[in-house]
A and B are shown apart, each in its own frame.
Chain A
Amino acid sequence: MEITLGIAKKLIHAGIKEALLKGNPCTIAVVDGDGWLVAAERMDGALIPTFDIARDKAWTALAFKMPSSDIYKFGDSTMPGFGFNTTGWNDRITPLAGGLPIKDGNEVIGAVGVSGNIPKQDIAVCKTAVDAIL
């Protein structure tokens, strides 16, 4: 499976429905398997910076093939990856919660990023969106 515009729209609409039910306006961004943005939508009332944050979360989830909040562990001094966060190799990487990779079996085919509210609610919207297409 590949993330096309049709699939991205389906995913975003599922997320929007969930966000509307909870009353949390947010931005939902979808990237394809190479990390390129396919579609993004900012709901009425979502704040201005949420667009850039959402796409950064999606990119981070895709690049590391893990939820964007999981990369915090590379900054832990007891972990082998310590110091990783000081390299400054990229300005898109973010450890904020709300980015999830989309997995088809074991293969990561894309990622979705949500920004707009507290981490718990962002993740809930993410999960609803991913579940809608798998």
Chain B
Amino acid sequence: MKKVKKVNKELLSRETVFEEDGCIKKITLGMAEKMIDAALRWARNGGFECSVAVLDASGTVIAVHRDNLMPETLEIAIDKAYTAAAMTAPTRMMAIMTSPMTAMGVGPDGHGTSLGFRHKLRWCTVNGGIPIRQAGTSMGMKVIGAIGTSGCPSGTDDNLCSQAGATSLYE
């Protein structure tokens, strides 16, 4: 009986685990669930439904939930988070870099557009994926995972939904 109580406590623990130096070392399942619930709540408040995925630093899914009737949004959410984790940058940045309409896309040597990634099957350079860092948002911090959203009416909404999830880590 004692063992069962302990397990229940572990199961429900959604506390973010901070190291002594204030960094988050890794994302646990409880933390991933907390992020996804917060993101889905944000979307529900806005009146729409979406899929949210949380990945760890290896680009493997920790948890993914689909809240709507569009099956493919779940795969796209995973791919967006994978792209963010692999590039250690928001997919918003990749969208700008690969767009032929922006200054980065039409740079002197076409640097951005040459990053077309069309051969990368899992690459998704669309708004909605955000990397999660050990602490803060500085580029120098190590990426411990990523969150991706798909299914919102617009890319901006996807981004905001992911941000709502990422922010909930510090609640």
- Please give the residue numbers on chain A whose beta carbons come within 8 Å of chain B beta carbons, in ascending order: 5, 8-9, 13, 16-17, 20-21, 34, 36-44, 48, 51
Complex contact A40–B11 (CB within 8 A): no
Given A44-B28, A44-B29, A48-B58, also A39-B11 (CB < 8 A): no
Which residues of chain B are within 8 angstroms of A42 by Cβ–Cβ distance? 29, 60-63
Interface size on B, residues (CB 8 A): 21
A-B pairs under 8 A by CB, number: 53
Complex contact A9–B65 (CB within 8 A): yes
Complex Cα distance, B87 from A51, in Å, reads: 22
Chain B nearest CB, measured from A23 CB (Å): 10
Complex contact B71–A39 (CB within 8 A): no
Interface of A is mostly: mixed
Complex contact A41–B62 (CB within 8 A): yes
Complex contact A37–B4 (CB within 8 A): no
* Selected contact of B65 from candidates A5, A43, A44, CB within 8 Å: A5
Chain B nearest CB, measured from A14 CB (Å): 10
**B66: Cβ under 8 A from any A Cβ:** yes
Complex contact A36–B63 (CB within 8 A): no
**Closest A residue, CB atoms, query B67:** A5
> Which residues 17-36 of B sit at the A interface, judged by CB distance below 8 A?
28-29, 32-33
Which residues of chain A are within 8 angstroms of B62 by Cβ–Cβ distance? 41-42
**Closest B residue, CB atoms, query A9:** B65
Complex Cα distance, B101 from A106, in Å, reads: 55
- The CB with the most chain A CB atoms within 10 A, among B58, B66, B74, is that of B66
Complex Cα distance, B61 from A44, in Å, reads: 11
* Selected contact of A20 from candidates B11, B65, B66, CB within 8 Å: B11
**Closest B residue, CB atoms, query A12:** B63
Given A42-B29, A44-B28, also A20-B10 (CB < 8 A): yes
Which residues of chain A are within 8 angstroms of B138 by Cβ–Cβ distance? none
Knowing that A36-B66, A36-B71, A39-B65 are A-B contacts, what are 8 other residue pairs whose CB atoms are under 8 Å apart, sorted by A's residue number? A5-B66, A13-B11, A17-B8, A21-B7, A37-B74, A38-B74, A41-B62, A41-B64
